[in-house]
Structure 1
Amino acid sequence: MELYRDETILLEEESGSVFITVFKSGMTFVKLDRTLQALPQISITKFLPLKDALSAGYCEKLEIGEIKPPVDLEISRDSMTVKIRINCTEQHLKENLKSIKAEIRNMLEARGICEGILEHVIDHELKVQKDITVAAGTEAVDGQDAQLIYFQPSERKPSIKEDGKADFFDMHFLDEVDKGDWLGEKHDPTDGLPGRTIFGEILHPKKGKDRKLLYDAKTVMEYEEDGVIVLRALVKGVVEKKGNRIAVGDHLVVNGDVGLETGNIDFNGNITIKGIIMEGFSVTADKDISILGAMGLSGVESVTSRNGDIFIKGGAFGKGKTKIRAAKNIFIKHANECTLQAGENIMIAYYSVGCFLIAKNVMAHEKKGKLIGGVIEAKGKVVAGIVGNHLERKTMIHVEGFNRASIETELAGLVPEYDMATLHAERYAQQISSYESVLDQLNEQQKNQYALTKSNYEKELDKLNELDQKRTSLLSLLETKGEGEVTVGVTAYPETVIQIKSMIKRIHSTSHGTFYATGNILHHE
């Protein structure tokens, strides 16, 4: 059957093969390509003989290709999609639309495709020489993992409004709960939704992973309520974290002042003092201490948190003798002539005058905060709006600094240790779940093993918490500019001495900006 003829070539079809006869030169590959655009049913498969024939300008009947089927159908390897390609002209499609639609449906049926046929595409969106998806399976939807929701403790993050007023010092430092209060809940994992291939085969979803609620069994209990596992406090106290577990910590509330009526206080939990600490008295706690009296402290002996934070809403007048020490952070409105020592950060809202401040970082507000006189010692950075004063009171700032590469190496070294502890914790959790599924059937030896597994599990959680705290501490150092930083947002007055590592900068005229060290070089910008 003749497909195309002009003065240079003849294209014919016989038994599904395509032949060319070249009468004379003049037909190029470019011209032939334009000709074949009107003959989309032709597929050239023998390019080299065709090229030789066109170059020679003459040949007898030569096989160069084949006739494509009216409709090509392709099934994806995963049996999830079917694509077709219609090999004809727009005119042919328009004139034979009904029969082509029928042919497509017959091809789908013949191949056993019964799921996800896109009828609207077949009826209204057919185009020539385009890959068209005419059937699509339904993907399985994997189940969701168990959702764990916990009570979120108040964030201990100071901030100062633009007008200079502190809103941080109205924060809720300790979160008190009563017996029976909600502390968390668990929503079980879901099964997911099955899918189907284009052949109707069922695709099974992955069920969501179960997860255990982590809590201190001595102070928190789980209950089933309307199909949801709910955590509630067993005792009155303050919400805290023990490792990754939620717990209720012991809480001593002093409704008035600490003084003659109470004597000095040393408590193994958290302390909230709603008044103040009278002069000459001391307060010590294993955990957090919150002092809410608006008048603050004056001439107290000491305030010490062995393992937690200290929050002093009203500030402190030390009279040269008060010592405030926290294993973690100190948050204070203002400090006068006292010693503040923190394992992590000292956060000052307004000012420090004549104090000895020791911490990893000492942070006052970059615009409003003042560090006037005294000695400030930090590991990473010191930030304030004003350092010294117009009377040129001598103010010493010493930043020990650090080696950034060493900190990064130490941080990287925590990763395998953390991964190993996580793996151990997950294994213990699986073993605990296995024991708990047959708890009433355990013999004495198995009960002892169950108790040991729970103990080991809690040890791994504690280890994870320690590693996480260490990671957070190292990351806070890496947030420092260079390898030691002092930032003065507004003014550093004369008689301010800034030392970072072994490098010293004496301020002789008012200055501001960021001083930082890289190696043995001190920068100022």
Structure 2
Amino acid sequence: MSMEIVSNEFLILEEENGSVFATVTKKGFPLLMINQLLSGFPRVNLNKFMVLKEAIETASGEKVEVGLVKAEVECILSKDLMTAKIRLNCLQEDLAGNNDKYVSNILDLLHYHNVREGIKVQILHSGLEAGKEIIIATGTEPINGEDAAVIYFKRSDRKPKIMEDGKANYYEMNFIDEVKKGDWLGEKIPPKDGKPGKTVTGDFILPKPGKNKKLFYDHKTIGEYEEDGKTVLRALIDGVVEFQSGKIVVGDHLVIDGDVGIETGNVDFIGSITVKGTVMDGFTVTATKDISIMSELGISGINRLESKTGDIFIKGGIFGKGQSIVTAARNIYLKHANECTLEAGENIHIGFYSLGSVLRAKNIIADGTKGKLIGGVIEARSKVTAGIIGNKMERKTVIQVAGFNREKLKAELDEMLMEYKQKVMEVEKLKRKLEVYDSFIGQLNSSQNQQFEETRDYFDALMHSIFTFEEKRKSIMEMLETKGEGEVFIGQIAFPDTQLEIKHLRKKLNSATKGTFYAENNNLHYE
């Protein structure tokens, strides 16, 4: 049975079994007036617009279906069931006069759709509006678990400090991080599970559990212990903290409380060496890793200091007497250098002065305010920095910077980074594989144990390769920070008779000069 909704001299709109029908008997009805005609009937939805348009244009008198009658209250659930919305298809004045009825209808509809979580009761009391979609219920999002947190011992930064106390100048640096057996070296806080959420229909949503992380350490020198709900790393031996191929290690450390001399003989050690005294004339100290000479008086007339893979720190400086040689695979740090030869694979850092010495390194860095380079030969691959070069007596000082090809270096870096990224991706895959093996430790058969050992060995080799790449990347990036393709920076003054050579471009200073010289486009620039 049909029921009239609205009519005029042109048409009749009727409702029958939830559908809306139109009968147009007279031409001339403006189609744009249809919304005004239906302004008092918010439940009518004319969703067959083209059919209605044709009926109005032809006015054939035929009864055609043009829409539907919406429910008085609609409930819309999101696909993920985290949101429920309602829409009241009524007039605002009707809602105001029958609020309790609509609230009751809403609650019935929510119950029908099984919406029972996160219902916004305050909206039912005071936030209802006619003709608008209103969020009536929201689910609770799950709180994902926290990943395991890993912290390792932080090594001291090797940055020398120049200090004065009014009586003497000191050249200080935290060079070697000593630890004793049982000392803390790192820890892992285990992952947390997280908290489940709920949809508006009351279904639980499981959180993503936190991811576990592996502790990377040398099992021969570091032990793993469970303490207060954490996994703690502690030193198994006395030594120095090192990081090798991504693992924390306690390295062998020889401490000589006094001097290196007749009582000790020459010292050759696999590991790091700390000499708390000095090294006597004519003696040699060799180490595979770092060497530190802690005497405030420095060293004088030694034969040789050599670090095969690490750094050298000479707190009190060196008087070489024209015979002493110091070589380091990486960096040399010292208070002063007097008539000696210093060679470093990376940088030479001088606190106060170099006098009549031969210096060879990638960068030669004397303090930009007080550091002096006087006489001798200074050969760098990238940059020389000093506060003062030469002296008032116009002692001849030669500064040579071999320089580099910036574009070639950038290309080398790009190529290296591509290979580096591939290795990092491979490492991540191996990490996941090792985590699976770790979870079944004690349950592996002999074949699986062998596969585990092989995977771990390959992982270690790959990590060593990555850290070699990282060291090389840092070295190249440091060179690319140089101005032009070779640089000499003079912080205070370079005296006359100082000779500069950057990428075979020569300059003899005939007057006191301050500033920066650099090579670029086959020209020597000054600023």
Query: Taking structure 2 as the reference length, what is the TM-score of the superposition?
Result: 0.82
Whether the 8 Å CA contact 1:399–1:485 is kept in 2: the answer is no
Partner of 1:400: 403
Is 1:335 aligned with 2:337? yes
Offset of residue 286 of structure 1 = 0.7
Q: State which drifts further: 208-217 or 474-483.
A: 474-483
Partner of 2:211: 209
Counterpart Cα distance in 1 of 2:7 and 2:511: 96
**What amino acid is aligned across from residue 118 of structure 2 in structure 1?**
G
Partner of 1:365: 367
**What amino acid is aligned across from residue 427 of structure 2 in structure 1?**
T
Counterpart Cα distance in 2 of 1:359 and 1:172: 22
Offset of residue 70 of structure 1 = 4.5
Aligned to 2:419, which of 414, 436, 451? 414
Aligned to 1:76, which of 64, 75, 78? 78
Partner of 1:281: 283
Listed as ranges, the gaps of 5+ residues in structure 2 are: none
Q: How many residues align?
A: 519
Q: State which drifts further: 447-456 or 494-503.
A: 447-456
**What amino acid is aligned across from residue 314 of structure 2 in structure 1?**
I
Q: 1:51 to 1:431 in 2, by over 3 A?
A: closer
Partner of 1:252: 254
Aligned to 2:481, which of 459, 479, 482? 479
Q: State which drifts further: 153-162 or 473-482.
A: 153-162
**What amino acid is aligned across from residue 120 of structure 2 in structure 1?**
L
Partner of 1:295: 297
Listed one character per residue, the Cα deviations across residues 425-459 of structure 1 (whole Å, up to 9, x for unaligned) are 426624641562326xx55x666555555444433
Partner of 2:443: 438
Counterpart Cα distance in 1 of 2:26 and 2:482: 82
Whether the 8 Å CA contact 1:395–1:496 is kept in 2: the answer is yes
Listed one character per residue, the Cα deviations across residues 146-183 of structure 1 (whole Å, up to 9, x for unaligned) are 22222222121335689999999433321111112222
Q: State which drifts further: 450-459 or 144-153.
A: 450-459
Listed one character per residue, the Cα deviations across residues 165-210 of structure 1 (whole Å, up to 9, x for unaligned) are 9999433321111112222222222222222222222222333333
Q: 1:517 to 1:146 in 2, by over 3 A?
A: same
SS in 1 for 2:248: strand
Partner of 1:264: 266
SS in 2 for 1:437: coil
Map 1:56-67 to 2 at 5 A. Answer: none
Is 1:182 aligned with 2:184? yes
Listed as ranges, the gaps of 5+ residues in structure 1 are: none
**What amino acid is aligned across from residue 198 of structure 1 in structure 2?**
V
**What amino acid is aligned across from residue 210 of structure 1 in structure 2?**
N
Bigger CA radius of gyration:
2
**What amino acid is aligned across from residue 267 of structure 1 in structure 2?**
F
Partner of 2:355: 353
Counterpart Cα distance in 1 of 2:26 and 2:343: 101
Counterpart Cα distance in 1 of 2:376 and 2:40: 91
Offset of residue 237 of structure 1 = 1.2
Partner of 1:488: 490
Counterpart Cα distance in 1 of 2:163 and 2:322: 31
Q: 1:464 to 1:85 in 2, by over 3 A?
A: same
Counterpart Cα distance in 2 of 1:321 and 1:307: 23
**What amino acid is aligned across from residue 178 of structure 1 in structure 2?**
K
Map 1:13-32 to 2 at 5 A. Answer: 14=15, 17=20
Listed one character per residue, the Cα deviations across residues 477-516 of structure 1 (whole Å, up to 9, x for unaligned) are 3333443333333444443444333434444444444444
**What amino acid is aligned across from residue 305 of structure 2 in structure 1?**
V
Is 1:312 aligned with 2:314? yes
Q: 1:446 to 1:73 in 2, by over 3 A?
A: closer
